[in-house]
C-alpha cells in the first residue's frame, strides 16, 4: 500500500464543469475621459444603466464620451433624520430641559454633591 499513492482531486480547486455551450452575457464597452485627457474603458452588461461620471483608479472623475448623460432628478431623496430630530418628534424641548435637570439632580445626590 505504501508504494501506491491515492489519486484524487483537490476540493474547490478545480471545477468539473466545462465551458462548452456556455455563452457569456452581452456586454458593452464604454469610454470615459478625464479633464487631463486620460481615457478609461469600462465594460458593462448590455442592459446596465451607464453612469455619466466614473471615478478612475487614480481618484479622478471621468466623463462619459459617447452617449447621453441623464440629468439627476432633485428631491427624490428623503432628508436625513438625526437623533435630535427623532427625539424632538417624541418630546418637547421643555420636557427635555426638565428631564435633564431631574437627572442631573439625581446624579448629584448619588455623588453626595447635592446643593
Alpha-carbon span 97 to 109, nearest angstrom = 18
Q: Which of 63, 28, 33, 58 is nearest to 45 (CA)?
A: 28
Per-residue pLDDT at 32 exceeds 90: yes
- Pairwise pLDDT comparison (27 vs 20), residue with the higher score: 27
Note the pLDDT tens digit of each residue in 68-88. 655 555 667 788 889 999 999
What is the model's pTM? Answer: 0.44
Cα distances from 104 to residues 76, 91, 93, in angstroms, run 43, 18, 16
Kindly report, as residue ranges, where domains of CATH 2.20.28.270 are found in the chain.
Answer: 27-64
Q: Which of 24, 26, 57 is nearest to 40 (CA)?
A: 57
CATH class of 27-64: mainly beta
Mean pLDDT of the chain: 84
Amino acid at each position: 500500500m505504501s508504494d501506491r499513492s491515492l489519486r484524487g482531486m483537490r476540493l474547490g480547486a478545480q471545477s468539473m464543469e466545462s465551458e462548452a455551450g456556455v455563452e457569456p452575457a452581452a456586454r458593452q464597452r464604454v469610454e470615459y475621459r478625464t479633464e487631463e485627457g486620460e481615457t478609461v474603458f469600462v465594460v458593462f452588461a448590455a442592459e446596465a444603466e451607464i453612469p455619466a461620471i466614473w471615478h478612475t483608479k487614480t481618484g479622478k472623475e471621468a466623463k462619459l464620451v459617447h452617449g447621453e448623460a441623464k440629468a439627476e432628478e432633485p428631491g427624490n431623496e428623503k432628508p436625513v433624520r438625526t437623533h435630535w430630530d427623532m427625539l424632538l418628534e417624541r418630546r418637547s424641548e421643555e420636557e427635555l430641559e426638565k428631564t435633564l435637570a431631574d437627572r442631573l439632580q439625581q446624579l448629584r445626590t448619588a455623588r453626595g454633591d447635592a446643593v
